[in-house]
Structure 1
Amino acid sequence: MAATLALLFLSQALLYTTVTSASVCGRPRVAEGIDVTVMKRVFEAGEEVTLKCEQGYLPSSMGTARIRCTSTGQWTESNLACSPKMCPIPEQLQPFAKGRTEAPFRSVLNFSCDDGYVLIGANGSSCLHDSSWSHPPPICKAVNCPLPNPPRDGRVVHGRPVTGTKTMYGQEWTYECNPPKAPSHEKGFCNADGTTTEPPVCREVSCSIPTNIPNGFITFAVMRPHAYKEKVKYACNEHYKLEGQAEIQCQNTGNWSSKPICRAPCTVGIKRGRIFYNARKIWIEDLKPNRVLHGEIVVFYCLNRDEKCGYPVSSTCNDGTLPIPECFEEPGKVEYNLKSKSLPSEIRMCAASPSERATRPA
């Protein structure tokens, strides 16, 4: 059941009467929950009143319940306290009650259903003096819609078997037209207000002659306008990586679906050093040809001067661009040729990179 719950807590105002004579007392000021309905408006000096909790409240302490009107026109003190009785919130509504399992006397639960559902029952319930609710929780019933009408020169295709003459809110279906016509809209729904999507209009649709894409080509197609739902397939030039759907389709709007993109490979832009690529640690001159594909990762090695250790930093080829990490220092010719064992890629690896160490908790 889908329902929304709101708790409204109502309080009783303090009731009292003011009198000016010093020999009489007005109706006493009392705390919430104490019954004043049977009290007089004016009391003479010496009169006593026994306070009690009104219906729907219980004494929460064993305080003084009897008070007396004094000759000064004041009442003696009372520390009687009354607490409202509690109504248990129905189990099916507790997920909406923000952790509460009960509500005090005179609280009100207001009910509503989500879009597409009809409320069966009362839209509100009050906590009564006997710790019961005035109305049980309602039921939220899904809206029903009449079955859709097929388009002229077409039909309705349901995603699941349909029985009877109605369908439920949230259900959808597809409209199809007799070839070569296309529907003005392809999807239909049972709407929240109980109405069904109007059937589409079937009309002839064609898409323009397909064009090539940068760094790619059409694998096979006759260069002509294409009818609704006809397809064309693309591929990329060597070493370029296709991103998106290889096939595009002529849509009911007369436009092609989105063409794929051919992403360019990258060159590793260093002359000296060692990298980690394709699960291998290799010297840059051994990378032949010097090329990595779009989306592939290349690891460079940087030096931690304080700890005299090396650490890896990865970079990703993105459509022809492979950023070189700022910490990477390309060695000189002498250092590279004669002291290669001292390079960051060859010495002891650090326990953690500087960035990882900076983010670790102390």
Structure 2
Amino acid sequence: MAPTWVLVLLGHMVLYTSVSSKKVCGRPPITDGIDESALKRVFEVGEEVTLTCEMGYLPSTTTPRRISCTATGEWTSSDLACSPRMCPIPGPLQPLAMGRTEAPFKSVLNFSCDDGYIMQGANESRCLHDGTWSNPPPTCKAVNCPLPRPPADGRIVHDKPVTGTTTRYGQGWTYECNPPKAPSFERGSCSANGTVPEPPVCRDVSCPIPTGIPNGFITFAVMRQHGYKDKVRYACNENYVLQGEAEIQCTNTGNWTSKPVCRAPCKVGIKRGRIFYNAKKIWIEDLKPNRVLHGEPVVFYCKNKAEKCGYPVASTCNDGVLPLPECFEEPGKVEYNLRAKTLPSEIAMCAASPPATPSSTARPT
């Protein structure tokens, strides 16, 4: 019985050997830019393939590179690399290219014009395989508008001299009416879509009797209603500072322009110490009267206890309020009268002031 089993086993071995297949190679590994149009999915052992760069790419070697399918089912190596051909970026566009002067094959430039300009040319350009662009950069031509019509009872004053029968996008003008009438709107311009506004209507306008301002007065005005473009002037009481335009004007809407505000002076809220004000050091009792005007700075002196030196900290009068720096410590009577030379304002100044913290810059007086 033993020989029978041997024959059976040999039969199986022959059958197995007859159905086994040879090694083959799949599509070779390729990098960007290598032409794969002629590559098959499967190659027999011993087959060769010549690798080339596809159109628009430059080879790293001057001679073609051939690779072979080996008995192990692997390909021989190749040192071919394909780099994209470059297109020079047009000079006028280089400031927008962040320092780049070239763009690789297949790059796309998209163009657009600002509002009020019409594009003449293609809105995109592609870098071609031969290193040129598919389209030149377009030009942006300013929109033109017809000249505006003046109001029926007035005229137009252009911001810039106008010649011909058109004006360009963005150029503006002012509408004026024959006195005492006012235009329903005063300004016009050539719009991005090439149109101009219809002229305004000239109409009678008056503003109410002007009112006073706190801590100030009207310098001269007849207390009556006022017409378009009439003006009234304000001033402040002594030691108050005028903030805003001193002169207001009656507008085409029948309202006055914004009135100014009179800002209050400040008192330096310390009893003992020395300050720097109006370009000189002053002991507080010598500040007579004790008053600084709105917007004026006052310098106080603080002490760096670790370094044993003084440093200046400025504060500004703001409409009656002069905040004291958080670091400022008002001296006691004995220290102020008997040891004045030890005060922060009198000792050596620090080489650098310590950095201020958000919570320790100033405190109200």
- Which TM-score tier does this pair reach, normalised by the shorter chain? 0.7 to 0.9
| Deviates further, 124-133 or 22-31 | 22-31
Cα offset, 1:309, TM superposition: 2.3
Equivalent position of 2:113 in the other structure: 113
Secondary structure at the counterpart of residue 255 of structure 1: coil
Using the alignment, how far apart are the partners of 1:219 and 1:148 within structure 2?
40
Specify whether residues 345 and 38 from structure 1 end up closer, same or farther in structure 2 by C-alpha distance, changes over 3 A only: closer
Q: Does 1:226 align with 2:226?
A: yes
| Aligned 8 A contact 2:59 2:80 in 1 | yes
| Aligned 8 A contact 2:208 2:224 in 1 | yes
Cα offset, 1:40, TM superposition: 6.4
Mapping of 1:5-20 within 5 angstroms?
Answer: none
Using the alignment, how far apart are the partners of 1:329 and 1:25 within structure 2?
89
Q: Which amino acid aligns with 2:259?
A: K
| Deviates further, 93-102 or 208-217 | 93-102
Q: Which amino acid aligns with 1:84?
A: P
Cα offset, 1:338, TM superposition: 2.6
Cα offset, 1:273, TM superposition: 1.6
Cα offset, 1:336, TM superposition: 2.2
Equivalent position of 2:276 in the other structure: 276
Equivalent position of 2:183 in the other structure: 183
Q: Does 1:211 align with 2:211?
A: yes
Specify whether residues 306 and 80 from structure 1 end up closer, same or farther in structure 2 by C-alpha distance, changes over 3 A only: closer
Q: Which amino acid aligns with 2:328?
A: F
Mapping of 1:253-332 within 5 angstroms?
Answer: 253-332=253-332
| Deviates further, 31-40 or 21-30 | 21-30
Secondary structure at the counterpart of residue 285 of structure 2: helix
| Aligned 8 A contact 2:52 2:64 in 1 | no
Equivalent position of 1:17 in the other structure: none
Equivalent position of 1:14 in the other structure: none
Structural RMSD (CA)? 2.4
C-alpha offsets along residues 285-343 of structure 1, whole Å, 9 cap, x if unaligned? 11111111001111112222223322222111110011122222222223322332232
Specify whether residues 272 and 40 from structure 1 end up closer, same or farther in structure 2 by C-alpha distance, changes over 3 A only: closer
Using the alignment, how far apart are the partners of 1:23 and 1:352 within structure 2?
81
Cα offset, 1:344, TM superposition: 2.1
* Structure 2 stretches lacking a partner, 5+ long: 1-20, 358-365
Equivalent position of 2:133 in the other structure: 133
C-alpha offsets along residues 117-152 of structure 1, whole Å, 9 cap, x if unaligned? 111111111111211111111111111111111112
Secondary structure at the counterpart of residue 355 of structure 2: helix
| Deviates further, 348-357 or 147-156 | 348-357
Cα offset, 1:24, TM superposition: 6.9
Specify whether residues 57 and 268 from structure 1 end up closer, same or farther in structure 2 by C-alpha distance, changes over 3 A only: same
Structure with greater contact order relative to length (CA < 8 Å, sep ≥ 6):
1
Using the alignment, how far apart are the partners of 1:290 and 1:206 within structure 2?
45
| Aligned 8 A contact 1:63 1:79 in 2 | no
Specify whether residues 269 and 39 from structure 1 end up closer, same or farther in structure 2 by C-alpha distance, changes over 3 A only: closer
| Deviates further, 53-62 or 308-317 | 53-62
Equivalent position of 1:3 in the other structure: none
Q: Does 1:195 align with 2:195?
A: yes
* Structure 1 stretches lacking a partner, 5+ long: 1-20, 358-362
Q: Which amino acid aligns with 2:263?
A: R
Q: Does 1:123 align with 2:123?
A: yes
Using the alignment, how far apart are the partners of 1:160 and 1:316 within structure 2?
44
Secondary structure at the counterpart of residue 355 of structure 1: coil
| Aligned 8 A contact 1:64 1:78 in 2 | no
Mapping of 1:40-51 within 5 angstroms?
Answer: 46-51=46-51
Using the alignment, how far apart are the partners of 2:290 and 2:243 within structure 1?
22
Secondary structure at the counterpart of residue 298 of structure 2: strand
With the length of structure 2 as denominator, give the TM-score of the two structures. 0.85
Specify whether residues 22 and 203 from structure 1 end up closer, same or farther in structure 2 by C-alpha distance, changes over 3 A only: farther
Q: Does 1:235 align with 2:235?
A: yes
With the length of structure 1 as denominator, give the TM-score of the two structures. 0.86
Question: Which structure has the bigger radius of gyration?
Answer: 2
Specify whether residues 339 and 162 from structure 1 end up closer, same or farther in structure 2 by C-alpha distance, changes over 3 A only: same
Q: Which amino acid aligns with 2:192?
A: A
Mapping of 1:50-129 within 5 angstroms?
Answer: 50-61=50-61, 65-69=65-69, 75-129=75-129
Cα offset, 1:71, TM superposition: 6.5
Secondary structure at the counterpart of residue 341 of structure 1: helix
| Aligned 8 A contact 1:63 1:81 in 2 | no
| Aligned 8 A contact 1:63 1:78 in 2 | no
| Deviates further, 329-338 or 237-246 | 329-338
Using the alignment, how far apart are the partners of 1:40 and 1:343 within structure 2?
93
Secondary structure at the counterpart of residue 303 of structure 1: strand
Specify whether residues 314 and 58 from structure 1 end up closer, same or farther in structure 2 by C-alpha distance, changes over 3 A only: same
| Aligned 8 A contact 2:50 2:64 in 1 | no
